[in-house]
Amino acid sequence: MTLRLHNTLTATKDVFEPVAAGQVGMYTCGPTVWNYAHAGNLRAFLVYDLVRRHLQVSGYDVTHVMNLTDIDDRILDQAMHAGVTIGDYVKPYVAAFFEDMGALRAQPATHYPRATEHIPEMVEMISELIENQHAYIADGDVYFRIASFPTYGALSHLDRAGLRAGARIAQGGRGLGSAEPVPGGASSRIRQDKYDKESVSDFALWKKAQPDDEKLGAAWDAPFGRGRPGWHIECSAMSKRYLGVTLDIHAGGVDLMFPHHENEIAQSEAANHKQFARFWLHSEHLADATGEKMSKSAGGFTTLRDLTDAGHDPVAVRFFLLASAHYRTRLRLSTESLHAAAEQVRRLREFADRVQRSTPSDVDDGDLLRRIGEVRTGYREALDDDLNLPQGVGLVFELAREANAAMDSGRVGERSRDALLLLVDDFDAHLDIVRSEEPGLAQEVARLIAEREAARKGRDFGRADQIREELREKGIALEDSKEGVRWRRVR
Ligand SMILES: [Zn+2]
């Protein structure tokens, strides 16, 4: 089977092949931890989870890097207001981010590098860019010289006129050394766009330290002057540190495409002289009930906490964000759509539970068996076709109706039951809604299974048996199969 992913760079669905066989290096833009993540961000983070899981299902070993932006203008403003250092200010929001990801069952990334912990890597890259004339110093700030990078704009397919238009639009955005408006912005320290830039589109790599920055713990020494990094350079420097100069996949929300991702490409390719990312994946916006794009700065601020306080199950939120629309289409958040998602989760869990508990009939229904095979293939093909999870889940629902009817009339034999169990494993590898209702249990079981495998490999059968017993006490039974070790709840 062939995996095709829509690549923003080519604007087509391209066959995915990593540089090194079997290994995928994936970088995804993470949260700016100035506040709780809003639902629009969570959608992007769950799309990363889907990409990651499908790559794993496809047999790839994935190194997934997701940065935490723990320094930017908004963080500086808020820390100033609270009278604490930026390090202290972001702490609860970093913790909240990991809590949200856990509640939403996103698989943890391999690395979560933080901007403030990678200043030397950024300083090194900026120095290279100054040395090779792609960047210049102006009054203590350092800017990237866009005129030195002729292919700038290729990702967002901007022509020169479009680029100028985009540059104007981006003036208010966080891309060009300014920031999104901060609520209660009277105290805002955001500086007006500088006049000493060579071109209005040039963006900041480094910002000269202001007196307040020292108090906030937000200033570092560099050969080009004491200061702090601009926002874009962190992704170029940290992806290189953990994944090397060419990424197999770079993903992010569509709002990051311009200018952030264009700037990442410019910085990395100008410094490394190698292609930065081979595949660019962008997820669409989440809209609020009125159809407006959700963002913190626009006041449309719905966090996972808001949703759980309103009684929504995080697993239903996960299903809604991942499976109710293809990742490249807009999705509208509403109470009704969340309730519909919760109902779909309930039906899939009930179906999985029924299959697991069912006693097979003596004979198999050949037609049913063939249908299950078709749906398993169709599900896989849908995911291989640019991660079309909604289409795949649609097939599962159709089959669930047929299989429920077959169980009602005793037409599910052993082979059909096994095939249905495999189908449950297939869809739950992406959805992760069935295996357990307790957060963290699936990871804990996975960890124990891995430990048991290691014990068996080391011929420590005593420990292996002990782990099987521990799991049995938790109500988990292990089954060894050709595909590996499966687990299920026993009552
Ligand atoms: Zn980024």
Q: Which domains does the chain have, with CATH numbers?
A: 18-283 (3.40.50.620), 312-434 (1.10.730.10), 441-491 (no CATH)
The model's pLDDT over 339-356, given as tens digits with 9 standing for 90+, comes to: 999 999 999 999 999 998
The model's pLDDT over 142-172, given as tens digits with 9 standing for 90+, comes to: 999 999 999 999 999 886 555 554 443 443 3
Please tell me the predicted confidence (pLDDT) of residue 298.
55
- Give the lowest-confidence range in 65-79, 130-144, 370-384, 423-437: 423-437
Please tell me the predicted confidence (pLDDT) of residue 300.
59
Please tell me the predicted confidence (pLDDT) of residue 184.
36
Distance from Cα 100 to the centre of ligand 1, integer Å: 20
Please tell me the predicted confidence (pLDDT) of residue 444.
72
Distance from Cα 46 to the centre of ligand 1, integer Å: 16
- Give the lowest-confidence range in 60-69, 186-195, 399-408: 186-195
Q: How many CA atoms lie within 13 A of 203 on its CB side?
A: 30
CA distance 344 to 338: 10
- Give the lowest-confidence range in 58-72, 120-134, 162-176: 162-176
The pLDDT of 213-224, averaged and rounded, is 97
Please tell me the predicted confidence (pLDDT) of residue 154.
94
Distance from Cα 279 to the centre of ligand 1, integer Å: 14
Please tell me the predicted confidence (pLDDT) of residue 440.
57
Distance from Cα 406 to the centre of ligand 1, integer Å: 50
| Strand-strand pairing, 23-28 and 61-66 | parallel
pLDDT above 90: residue 448: no
Distance from Cα 243 to the centre of ligand 1, integer Å: 14
CB of 23 within 8 A of CB of 55? no
Distance from Cα 378 to the centre of ligand 1, integer Å: 34
pLDDT above 90: residue 249: yes
Please tell me the predicted confidence (pLDDT) of residue 484.
63
Residues 6 or more apart from 210 whose CB is under 8 A from it?
189
Residue 480 phi/psi, 5-degree rounding, is: -85, 130
Task: Report how far Cα 266 is from the mean position of its chain's Cα atoms.
Answer: 23
- Give the lowest-confidence range in 30-39, 280-289, 475-484: 475-484
Distance from Cα 66 to the centre of ligand 1, integer Å: 9
The pLDDT of 449-473, averaged and rounded, is 90
- What b-and-e string marks burial along 326-357, b requiring 16 or more CB atoms within 10 Å of the CB? bbbeebbbeeeebeebbebbeebbebbeebbe
Distance from Cα 203 to the centre of ligand 1, integer Å: 14
Please tell me the predicted confidence (pLDDT) of residue 64.
97
pLDDT above 90: residue 22: yes
Please tell me the predicted confidence (pLDDT) of residue 160.
53
Residue 396 phi/psi, 5-degree rounding, is: -60, -45
CB of 423 within 8 A of CB of 396? yes
Distance from Cα 260 to the centre of ligand 1, integer Å: 6
CA distance 62 to 25: 6
Please tell me the predicted confidence (pLDDT) of residue 191.
47
Residue 182 phi/psi, 5-degree rounding, is: -95, 135
Sign of the C-alpha dihedral computed for residues 332, 65, 282 and 430 taken in this order: negative
CA distance 412 to 355: 9
pLDDT above 50: residue 181: no
Distance from Cα 193 to the centre of ligand 1, integer Å: 22
pLDDT above 50: residue 360: yes
Q: Taking the CB of residue 11, how many other CB atoms lie within 10 A of it?
A: 10
Mean of pLDDT over the chain? 89
Distance from Cα 235 to the centre of ligand 1, integer Å: 5
The pLDDT of 50-56, averaged and rounded, is 95
Q: What is the pTM of this model?
A: 0.84
Please tell me the predicted confidence (pLDDT) of residue 171.
37
Distance from Cα 478 to the centre of ligand 1, integer Å: 41
Residues facing 68 on adjacent strands = 114
Share of the chain above pLDDT 90, in %: 76
The pLDDT of 216-236, averaged and rounded, is 97
Q: Between residues 450 and 140, which one has the greater pLDDT?
A: 140
Distance from Cα 207 to the centre of ligand 1, integer Å: 18
Q: Taking the CB of residue 90, how many other CB atoms lie within 10 A of it?
A: 25
Distance from Cα 103 to the centre of ligand 1, integer Å: 24
Please tell me the predicted confidence (pLDDT) of residue 124.
98
Q: Which residues are near ligand 1, the ion (C-beta closer than 5 Å)?
A: 29, 235
Distance from Cα 196 to the centre of ligand 1, integer Å: 26
Q: Taking the CB of residue 302, how many other CB atoms lie within 10 A of it?
A: 19
Between the alpha carbon of residue 355 and those of residues 169, 350, 408, 431, the distances in Å are 54, 9, 11, 18
The model's pLDDT over 272-315, given as tens digits with 9 standing for 90+, comes to: 999 999 999 999 999 877 777 766 555 557 999 999 999 999 99
Distance from Cα 233 to the centre of ligand 1, integer Å: 8
Please tell me the predicted confidence (pLDDT) of residue 491.
53
For residue 486, name the pLDDT band (cuts at 50, 70, 90). Answer: confident
CB of 1 within 8 A of CB of 57? no
Distance from Cα 300 to the centre of ligand 1, integer Å: 22
| Strand-strand pairing, 331-332 and 286-287 | parallel
Distance from Cα 264 to the centre of ligand 1, integer Å: 7
Distance from Cα 29 to the centre of ligand 1, integer Å: 4
pLDDT above 50: residue 192: no
Distance from Cα 452 to the centre of ligand 1, integer Å: 38
Angle between helices 414-431 and 366-384 in degrees, nearest 10? 20
Distance from Cα 261 to the centre of ligand 1, integer Å: 6
Residues facing 249 on adjacent strands = 26, 279
Distance from Cα 232 to the centre of ligand 1, integer Å: 6
Q: Which residue has the tokens 């969570």?
A: 42
pLDDT above 60: residue 182: no
Distance from Cα 136 to the centre of ligand 1, integer Å: 22
pLDDT above 90: residue 357: no
Distance from Cα 447 to the centre of ligand 1, integer Å: 31
**Residue 118: closest CA among 174, 69, 45:** 69
Distance from Cα 253 to the centre of ligand 1, integer Å: 10
For residue 443, name the pLDDT band (cuts at 50, 70, 90). Answer: low
For residue 487, name the pLDDT band (cuts at 50, 70, 90). Answer: confident
